[in-house]
């Protein structure tokens, strides 16, 4: 007998950096039977706490937080890894009779969750090094032409100056013998049978967002960001090319610690880079037609969101 499956639900809380997602998530998880899943490509790294505004131990003891501190900064992490991890964690949460609250600002991860991600081979460091070497010799436009020869569709979509995507498309072709544009056509949403509620949290005024970002970075400096990055720098095995060290704030502090720029300049650049990150996050967010928007500057935003979720059947 096919029993009617209990409806699985999930809440997506999305927003640009500094919009106050984490604090809000904590409030929601304390009121509703939710467990937090971080959707953040930087929070996965251990030892990167201040610059990522990572929830502290006390907070994490109060409410379960998943997918935080799961990688060493020398390791990589990808959208593919995230999807696998997130699906696993979500299954466990549902099995406990609870619901996942996916919180973060890594919009590609949200996108991959909702739209699905093709089953592609993982990154191959050796192959990438070979492609890079060849590109250094011939230039990326030439690599783009090589891609066009084997995968015209991908070449058409990828700009000739976009090394990252040209490299990935070539990599997948070399690894599988198939065009990435064909492989990408099959993908399955992680929310196929899930009742999803999408919340977008952001200061509606751009100036408010910019002020928050500047203030937040200054607080990070006061909280010891310099020492945190100095420690990572001193390990000796990390480089400016590691994805973890390319994160906003860390990249600029790294350059300062390496003696390339003054602290004021690093600070200036870090704040600007954060604004640019927030802008890209907002561009993704605007395309999320299901998302319900809330003003992060509204003093009562938490209650408004709580009410919205209750109406959607998320209260217990």
Q: Which residues bind RNA (CB under 7 A)?
A: 17, 40-43, 51-53, 76-81, 105-109, 111-112, 116-123, 128, 157, 159, 161-165, 167-168, 180, 184-185, 187, 206, 210, 243, 246-249, 251, 269, 272-273, 275-277, 279-284, 286-287
Q: Which is nearer to RNA, 22 or 99 (CB)?
A: 22
Q: Nearest distance from residue 198's CB to RNA, in Å?
A: 16
Q: Which is nearer to RNA, 98 or 255 (CB)?
A: 255
Q: Which is nearer to RNA, 100 or 249 (CB)?
A: 249
Q: Which is nearer to RNA, 270 or 306 (CB)?
A: 270
How far is the C-alpha of 14 from the C-alpha of 264, rounded, in Å?
Answer: 31
Longest dimension (CA), the chain: 70
CB 48 within 8 Å of CB 21 = no
Spatial strand order of the sheet with 292-295 comes to 65-66, 34-39, 99-104, 8-14, 194-202, 292-295
CA 166 to the chain's CA centroid: 21
The tokens of 48 are what? Answer: 């990167």
Q: Nearest distance from residue 314's CB to RNA, in Å?
A: 26
How far is the C-alpha of 89 from the C-alpha of 38, rounded, in Å?
Answer: 11
Q: Which is nearer to RNA, 257 or 273 (CB)?
A: 273
How far is the C-alpha of 38 from the C-alpha of 42, rounded, in Å?
Answer: 10
How far is the C-alpha of 92 from the C-alpha of 244, rounded, in Å?
Answer: 28
181 — alpha (psi -120 to 50), left (phi > 0) or beta?
A: alpha
Q: Which is nearer to RNA, 235 or 279 (CB)?
A: 279
What is the rounded end-to-end Cα distance, in angstroms, of the chain? Answer: 28
Q: Nearest distance from residue 303's CB to RNA, in Å?
A: 26
The tokens of 141 are what? Answer: 């436009």
Element (H, E) at 173: helix 163-176
Q: Nearest distance from residue 248's CB to RNA, in Å?
A: 4
Q: Nearest distance from residue 20's CB to RNA, in Å?
A: 14
Q: Nearest distance from residue 259's CB to RNA, in Å?
A: 20
Q: Which is nearer to RNA, 53 or 306 (CB)?
A: 53
CB 179 within 8 Å of CB 149 = no
Q: Nearest distance from residue 237's CB to RNA, in Å?
A: 16
């Amino acid at each position: 007998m096919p029993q009617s499956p209990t409806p699985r639900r999930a809440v997506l809380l999305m927003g640009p950096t500094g919009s106050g997602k984490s604090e809000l998530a904590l409030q929601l998880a304390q009121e509703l039977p939710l467990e937090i899943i971080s959707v953040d490509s930087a929070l996965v790294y251990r030892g990167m706490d201040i610059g990522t505004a990572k929830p502290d131990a006390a907070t994490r003891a109060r409410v379960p937080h998943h997918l935080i501190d799961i990688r060493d900064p020398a390791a990589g992490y990808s959208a593919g890894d995230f999807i696998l991890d997130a699906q696993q964690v979500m299954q466990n949460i549902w099995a406990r009779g609870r619901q996942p609250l996916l919180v973060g600002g890594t919009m590609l991860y949200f996108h991959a969750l909702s739209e699905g991600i093709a089953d592609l081979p993982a990154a191959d460091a050796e192959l990438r090094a070979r492609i890079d070497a060849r590109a250094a010799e011939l230039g990326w436009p030439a690599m783009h032409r090589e891609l066009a020869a084997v995968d015209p569709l991908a070449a058409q979509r990828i700009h000739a100056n976009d090394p990252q995507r040209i490299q990935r498309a070539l990599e997948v072709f070399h690894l599988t013998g198939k065009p990435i544009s064909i492989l990408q056509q099959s993908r399955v949403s992680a929310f196929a049978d899930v009742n999803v509620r999408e919340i977008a949290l952001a200061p509606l005024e751009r100036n408010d967002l910019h002020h928050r970002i500047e203030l937040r970075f200054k607080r990070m400096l006061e909280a010891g960001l310099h020492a945190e990055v100095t420690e990572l720098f001193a390990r000796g095995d990390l480089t400016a090319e590691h994805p973890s060290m390319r994160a906003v704030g860390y990249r600029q502090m790294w350059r300062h610690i390496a003696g390339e720029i003054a602290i004021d300049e690093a600070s200036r650049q870090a704040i600007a880079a954060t604004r640019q990150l927030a802008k890209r996050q907002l561009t993704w967010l605007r395309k999320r037609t299901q998302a319900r928007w809330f003003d992060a500057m509204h003093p009562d935003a938490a209650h408004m969101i709580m009410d919205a979720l209750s109406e959607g059947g998320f209260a217990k």
